[in-house]
Structure 1
């Protein structure tokens, strides 16, 4: 992200406070409405968000065994004069979640209710009443059937029914606590964000709309490639004539490496900084020109819950189909086991993106045709996500937060239920200050020496004149 460090500090404080579980509530303060005849009985109000960086939202969940067409159903607060009508063609599959941003129709107050009506406007399907703002979410636990409780924000995904922080106790960093600078002084300046190490090359995305190709500097760090037009990084452009400047936040490659394209996550067009444009962009990096125009864009904005324009896609990584199918990954769009053959030509894996403002992860199959399908939505359990990194040697996904979460790192893998779940929570290395780290990369198995291998962080704030730092991780 491009705003100064002070904004991160304020954002961290606000979200940290919001993620603390609410105190015990007075008995009877929260109530859920009675069930009604099918299919209304299968559609439940499942989550309500009344405050924070996400606009007032109500999530619905289908707890039944059949798809339900909810076209024309109506959402209301405690008043009858305002209503939100669900668009025609909206269907909820069994086990599906769908969040609706209702703030343009009505606001959700600190003492209010959410009501769901059938299209006739008079048959109440479900309701939920609360006596104080969400902190950050009122969530049904378990989904669709349980009572509402204070929990982490998980719009569009299963509710986090443990503690609001994910329920996992952090442990010490699994490597040396020592951290050293990994770049020369003031090479990159501020706003260096996502990292991805591909053998002897480090790809780095910068918020100002740049992509860097870095090479080893001979002392364990990295320096810009001076060949092929890379010495000052290359300017990124959106497709369609090379217009606009992507706010580049994350970077990854697929199993074919950079030869198959470098993929960048962007949260907005810097030329229109007040508007979200949550996109994954593909770039051909084989040329020598100083500007790279995207060969393809997958604009995911309409498919994701709305967040502030500077709180959007902060991270992207690619996870191979082979791991997902072998682990029994369940496709959230179908409710069945993930079957990549049903998606036509794509990159041989799922792209997972991380949303800074909500801490949510979403998995997408990005087809070569430009189409896309969301196959996963899961909460990281943290206040924000700034980096995602797939580590193939041990088949785990790293989820990284910056100083918003005191530099916490989490790992995730597909569990027995076929969904991504947190497997460990790590504090930042003891020798590293609470930097505004927005990038993280893990060296490959070939660099494992004496039981450890290098890892690198990029500091968006360029603290002390350095944007890159090096640490280690136990192999």
Structure 2
């Protein structure tokens, strides 16, 4: 399905002005359409995710048939047109639909509709008959009502009369969310605005994810005019059993709180926020609250748990956090569902792609049970379970080896390292959900299941920020030393990362992301069970739920969920000008690391066709899967059963966001290894710098983002680096100038000889 990006908004707004229709950025406003001709009008528009594809519906509200022969449909671009074939008619009271796959016109409706676009209908003379423009996809479709006004429909009604949701009624419940604290403690205050005591049996609090739910216990009540505070220690019902609020919900810096009645109906919603509330830079002095109690929007306030709210004066909180400004997703806007029939469990979390002997593999993990799966991937992004992996295997803590009934790790992230082992990130023990326990588990994927006990574990809790139990490690990603040597700033030395400084760490570093605050940390996980922090990276997102290293583009992707509107950050590592990774010897050790520059971060919006949801997993295919200049990408959504895994596309461009393509410029060399299982290596050096390959030893042949990625990136970098100073265009201009001068000299000499003769 064709989608327009970037400048499409400006184009659509220009079309809006041209046809006299107004719209609001982000939401298409109900707007009267142009006057219909003989009862003919555009009646409904599907611009995203329709069946099959985009479609446009026309209605005849008149009393006579309308001959459509020669009528033309265009979007906001005059170059895109569909002409109704001769003999096309629309009966009185009837509907006619054209879509992307049922092409019957002379021009064919094959151009698709974008998030910012328009539909225009012209008669055979070229006169405009009807039109509608919008600036964002509808959650359902756009339709025109009986009064001629456009609005989002209740549901698509292709070829039928439009349906619109009834106007929402004002909340009838006297119960309201009243105050929220997300740091340093987590608590929610309710207020009863009614004149009678109310029961809270079965009522629920949820954050931005439906599977993070805490229900009030039987017998819970709130007095008339009273306040009730639910804090981290409050015991209610979690997953059908007694559990604390902290076991179910951690209120993050990018989050929201919702309140549901016993029947599952939404009573109240705080709306989303970005960044912990602070006054004077201190989160302990601030909350979000309503003033007056139970009414209006949530604003900055002083903490008053169990009492009337005290909202802050304007300006008391200091500067507002900078809004997230993103660039358009660097790939196709559409995504598609891969598991319409349920394939996974309900707590889908981490993804990682691996280049193996049998092609590309995709690993997936569930945080509720510790179950992980191995899937085979195709170049079009489709996946299937590897033989025998339909039920997956279950990761276990070493301490639970003899207790199959133990709840096990809350496995939020997964990565495959150069040693062929899986590494899972866990933010807590599911048997003690209220306790933060940030750890990384080494799992042998070849071990016989269904349960696989961790062969080694690293406890990082004391080395990471102290956060709520449900807001700890969300992702882990292994990156080979060859990708980081001299390109990542080592916080201990202030210079480029030198693997030789960490003799027990293996062949790469592990990046872990902490959900609350969105920081990413690089660790050397040592063979003796210790861990050494190498770097602390701030991607510029209030939360990070997924990590994936992109060896083609030479950087790390950090992705957020709906708390950040699905934004992601690309973190480009690179050497400082004039510096680079030094030559390596046959054993892969460096003679010394060069200075490196701070990473460069570029923020991107999610693809237009990716639903706004609690997306916790993200992975990108390697270079060998390029199709029509793009590679597959995958997203994994928590809290759903079917529809958890989606595939989309990322451009396979040589240019690296944030300037990473020339990160080793100005004479710096970048060695990239292509090792084998026997430890042999062959390398590609950056132009103008030191050459030589970086060895990959032992079992490192199955590293994620494998040899193809490394060689392609090395080629792209070499081509880029070779054009520093005088580029090809400048050189061609010089040649033209020199040839012109030579020609003038020859002509002048010839004339002088002719004159002499």
Question: Shorter-normalised TM-score: what interval?
Answer: 0.5 to 0.7
Give the match for residue 274 of structure 1.
434
Q: Which has the higher contact order (CA 8 A, sep 6+)?
A: 1
1:9–1:453 Cα change, 3 Å? farther
SS of 2:341's partner is: coil
| C-alpha distance in 2 between matches for 1:430 and 1:2 | 20
Measured in 2, the distance between the counterparts of 1:19 and 1:456 equals 27
- Indicate the SS of the match to 1:322: helix
Q: Report deviation, 1:287.
A: 2.4
Report the alpha carbon displacement of residue 304 of structure 1 after superposing the two structures with TM: 1.4
Cα distance in 2 between the residues matched to 1:10 and 1:366: 29
Q: 2:345 & 2:562 partners in 1: Cα distance?
A: 18
Match of 2:566 in 1: 407
Select 2:382's aligned residue among 207, 221, 235.
221
Equivalent of residue 19 in structure 1, options 275, 291, 303: 275
Q: Are 2:466 and 1:306 equivalent residues in the alignment?
A: yes
Normalised to the residue count of structure 2, the TM-score between the two structures is 0.42
Against the structure 1 CA distance between its residues 264 and 2, is the aligned structure 2 distance closer, same or farther, given a 3 Å change threshold?
A: farther
Check conservation: 2:209, 2:639, Cα contact below 8 A.
no
Q: How far apart, CA to CA, are the structure 2 residues paired with 1:373 and 1:471?
A: 36
Alignment partners' CA distance in 1, 2:398 and 2:512: 20
- Secondary structure of the residue aligned to 1:383 is coil
Checking the alignment, whether the CA contact within 8 Å between 2:486 and 2:498 is kept in structure 1 is no
**Cα contact 2:552–2:622 (8 A) shared by 1:** yes
Specify whether residues 282 and 408 from structure 1 end up closer, same or farther in structure 2 by C-alpha distance, changes over 3 A only.
same
**What SS is found at the alignment partner of 1:215?**
strand
Instruction: Give the gaps of 5 or more residues in structure 2.
Output: 1-206, 214-248, 258-270, 288-300, 304-310, 577-594, 653-757
State the alpha-carbon separation in 2 of the partners of residues 369 and 338 from structure 1: 21
Moved over 6 A (4+): 6-10
Secondary structure of 1:174's aligned partner: coil
Work out the number of aligned pairs and report it.
346
Task: Evaluate the alpha carbon distance shift between residue 420 and residue 390 of structure 1 in structure 2; reply closer, same or farther with a 3 A threshold.
Answer: farther
Q: Indicate if the aligned counterparts of 2:489 and 2:597 stay in contact, CA closer than 8 A.
A: yes
Compared CA separation, residues 52 and 209, structure 1 to 2 (3 A): farther
Q: Alpha-carbon deviation of 1:338?
A: 2.3
CA gap of 1:422–1:164, structure 2 versus 1, over 3 A, is farther
CA RMSD of aligned residues (A): 3.3
C-alpha displacement of 1:330:
2.1
CA drift of 1:318 comes to 1.3
- Residue 383 of structure 1 corresponds to 542
Higher strand residue share:
1
Cα deviations across residues 227-273 of structure 1 (Å, max 9, x unaligned)?
A: 2xx221111101235255010111111234xx3x1000000000111
2:390 is the counterpart of 1:212? no
Q: Within 2, Cα distance between the matches of 1:405 and 1:222? A: 28
Cα deviation code 1:312-359 (max 9, x no counterpart): 1000111222222232x2211343432221211223111110011111
Match of 2:422 among 259, 262, 268: 262
Post-superposition Cα deviations, 1:183-224, rounded to whole Å, max 9, x if no partner, equal: 241121321111001132111111121111112489742233
Q: Write the deviation string for residues 23-62 of structure 1: whole angstroms up to 9, x where unpaired.
A: xx9xxxx7xxxxxxxxxxxxxxxx7543689xxxxxxxxx
Q: Say yes or no: does 1:433 pair with 2:689.
A: no
Give the one of 410, 427, 436 matched to 1:247.
410
| In structure 2, C-alpha distance between the alignment counterparts of 1:52 and 1:216, rounded to whole Å | 48
> Could you tell me whether the CA contact under 8 Å between 2:379 and 2:625 is conserved in 1?
no
Alignment map for 1:38-187 (pairs within 5 Å): 49-50=283-284, 164-165=322-323, 169-187=325-343
Q: What SS does the aligned partner of 1:240 have?
A: helix
- 225 and 2 in structure 1: CA distance in 2 versus 1, 3 angstrom threshold: farther
Q: Could you tell me which of 621, 624, 627 is aligned with 1:443?
A: 621
Instruction: Provide the residue aligned with 1:125 in structure 2.
Output: none
Q: Show the counterpart of 2:651.
A: 474
Secondary structure class of the residue paired with 1:211: strand
Q: Given the alignment of the two structures, is residue 361 of structure 1 paired with residue 361 of structure 2, yes or no? A: no
Deviations 1:89-114 (A, max 9, x none): xxxxxxxxxxxxxxxxxxxx969xxx
Distance 1:183 1:359 in 2: 29
Distance in 1 of aligned mates of 2:507 and 2:208: 32
For residues 374 and 150 of structure 1, the distance between their equivalents in structure 2, rounded to whole angstroms, comes to 32
1:424 aligns with 2:667: no
How has the CA–CA distance of structure 1 residues 284 and 440 changed in structure 2, closer, same or farther, with 3 Å as cutoff? same
Report whether the alignment pairs 1:349 with 2:502: no
How has the CA–CA distance of structure 1 residues 171 and 371 changed in structure 2, closer, same or farther, with 3 Å as cutoff? same
Distance 1:293 1:2, change over 3 A: farther
Give the structure-1-normalised TM-score: 0.66
Which residue in the other structure is 2:706 paired with?
none
Partners of 2:273 and 2:563 within 8 A in 1:
no
Q: Give the alignment of 1:316-327 within 5 angstroms.
A: 316-327=476-487
1:335/1:178 CA distance change after superposition, 3 Å: same
Q: 1:2 to 1:49 in 2, by over 3 A?
A: closer
Residue 419 of structure 1 deviates from its aligned partner by: 5.9
Deviations 1:432-463 (A, max 9, x none): 22021100110010001211110010111227
